[in-house]
Amino acid sequence: MYNSIKMTDDVYWVGVNDRETDIFESLWPLPEGISYNSYLIDDDKVALIDTVKINYNNSFLDKIKNVIGDKKVDYLIVNHMEPDHSGSIKSLCEAYPDMKIIGNQKTMNFLEGFYGITKGTKVVSDGDQIDLGTHRLTFYLTPMIHWPETMMTFDEHDQILFSGDAFGGFGSLDGFLFDDELNINFFKDEIRRYFSNIVSKYGTVVHNTINRLSKILDIKMVASTHGPVWREKTNYIISEYDRWSKQETDEGVVIVYGSMYGNTKVMAEAVARSLSENGIEEIKIFDVSRKNVSFIINDIWKYNGLIMGSCTYNNEIFPPMDYLLKSLESRNIKKRVMGIFGSYSWSGGAVDRLKDFSEKVSCCTAEPIVESKFAPDRKILEQCYELGKNVAQKVKKNNQ
């Protein structure tokens, strides 16, 4: 027997938890799993909002049947077409052949492209509504959070914003559904990791959408496609998403290093010690070869200091560090105090790429930029100390 969870008199969570996928979208590790949330409104007309990944199709259909019995699903509202939410559309169409699929004009291109569906659809525009009986739903187009077809659906009766991926996070729902049923601190890193890796590139759009919808809607509950449903800390998650979208940060420093023989690592440790001696309490050090980039980006999104050090590889920067830099460039990272160090044996290259990066993303770079030929000697380590001290001062000043 597969259970749904009752959210209000007529609204049910009929989503699923995925603890089987190790690497979501072949990019993001899932140490804590993930949920694919779908919501059912059992009114005079029955509406389903988003579906689940195809692998969970059978349990999803069972959950729907457990709520509505022999009734039919009248509408499927597609807030987002990425396959973790659209994967069960075809089997849903087979189970409920008279069901109308509601989406915007862009949704329809994806629907045809992914699943060959061209019939039984209804195109809606921004502000359009449908009546289910007691519940009236309004659609808001929110393109590029984080795909072009994304939209949100607001239920006036229960004041629920069905927000698609926005306000979601990694992490499965382990018995709980609502924000007040779990320790949110436990979840916070996974929510920010989701935002910083998947949504952050469109931070300005997120910020503008939050501004727009919070002015026109009285939102009591936020129901995302991933993670908990927000009903007690609704303002908290909206304001955290807004802070992250504007790249507002806490005081602290992330040091990321790439090191083949240990020399750049020694420099990283010297910089970290200096940060600590100069009053920085939150310091995170990552070996870029050993930590998946999604966790590094998460902490970079959290803190206002970023110090990067790399060895040189074939006249260029160490490849794993290059991947991180490109990942940060594509997410428009900005407003960080930055420090740079690196090493080489027979030809430089790493430090130049780090300098280019810093200029490109307009981060404020602290002096000195430290470059060691071969193993760092006492003089180089003194420069590392100086770099840590200067970053600490700027980080604290920027946080005032």
Q: Are 210 and 161 in contact (CB under 8 A)?
A: no
Angle value at C-alpha 55, between 50 and 59, nearest 5 degrees: 70
**Type of residue found at 206:** V
Rounded to whole angstroms, the Cα distance separating 183 from 175 reads 12
SS3 content of the chain, % helix, strand, coil (to 5): 40, 25, 35
Quick one: which of 225, 263, 304, 372 contacts ligand FEO (CB under 6 A)?
Answer: 225
Binding part of the chain for ligand FEO, among 78-86, 123-131, 260-268, 345-353 by CB under 6 A, reads: 78-86
Closer to ligand FEO by CB, 146 or 336: give it.
146
CB of 48 to ligand FEO, least distance (A): 16
**Which residues on neighbouring strands pair with residue 221, listed in sequence order?**
160
CB of 20 to ligand FEO, least distance (A): 16
CB of 25 to ligand FEO, least distance (A): 8
Q: Is 31 exposed, middle or buried (0-12, 13-18, 19+ CB in 10 A)?
A: exposed
Under the binding rule (CB under 6 A), the answer on residue 365 touching ligand FEO is no
Binding part of the chain for ligand FEO, among 1-9, 79-87, 244-252, 336-344 by CB under 6 A, reads: 79-87
Rounded to whole angstroms, the Cα distance separating 145 from 16 reads 22
State yes or no: cis peptide before 146, omega within 30 of 0.
Answer: yes
Under the binding rule (CB under 6 A), the answer on residue 82 touching ligand FEO is yes
CB of 237 to ligand FEO, least distance (A): 16
Beta strands per DSSP E along 68-148: 75-77, 100-103, 121-123, 129-131, 136-141
Closer to ligand FEO by CB, 53 or 231: give it.
53
CB of 148 to ligand FEO, least distance (A): 12
Rounded to whole angstroms, the Cα distance separating 22 from 282 reads 29
Rounded to whole angstroms, the Cα distance separating 322 from 326 reads 6
Closer to ligand FEO by CB, 225 or 259: give it.
225
Closer to ligand FEO by CB, 74 or 82: give it.
82
Quick one: which of 18, 42, 74, 84 contacts ligand FEO (CB under 6 A)?
Answer: 84
Closer to ligand FEO by CB, 79 or 383: give it.
79
Rounded to whole angstroms, the Cα distance separating 78 from 149 reads 9
Binding part of the chain for ligand FEO, among 51-59, 82-90, 324-332, 345-353 by CB under 6 A, reads: 82-90
Under the binding rule (CB under 6 A), the answer on residue 107 touching ligand FEO is no
Q: Which of residues 141-170 bind ligand FEO (CB under 6 A)?
A: 146, 165
Strand order in the sheet with 11-13: 5-6, 11-13, 39-42, 46-49, 75-77, 100-103, 121-123
Quick one: which of 53, 63, 80, 193 contacts ligand FEO (CB under 6 A)?
Answer: 80
Quick one: which of 53, 135, 193, 226 contacts ligand FEO (CB under 6 A)?
Answer: 226
Q: Which of residues 236-275 bind ligand FEO (CB under 6 A)?
A: none
Under the binding rule (CB under 6 A), the answer on residue 135 touching ligand FEO is no
CA distances to 50, 132, 137 from 40, in Å: 9, 12, 13
Under the binding rule (CB under 6 A), the answer on residue 4 touching ligand FEO is no
Closer to ligand FEO by CB, 225 or 263: give it.
225
**Which residues on neighbouring strands pair with residue 223, listed in sequence order?**
162
Q: Are 5 and 20 in contact (CB under 8 A)?
A: no
- Which of 273, 267, 288, 275 has the alpha carbon at shortest distance from 344? 267
Closer to ligand FEO by CB, 193 or 226: give it.
226
- Which of 22, 35, 11 has the alpha carbon at shortest distance from 228? 35
Quick one: which of 53, 63, 85, 265 contacts ligand FEO (CB under 6 A)?
Answer: 85
Under the binding rule (CB under 6 A), the answer on residue 353 touching ligand FEO is no
Binding region for ligand FEO (CB under 6 A)? 80, 82, 84-85, 146, 165, 225-226
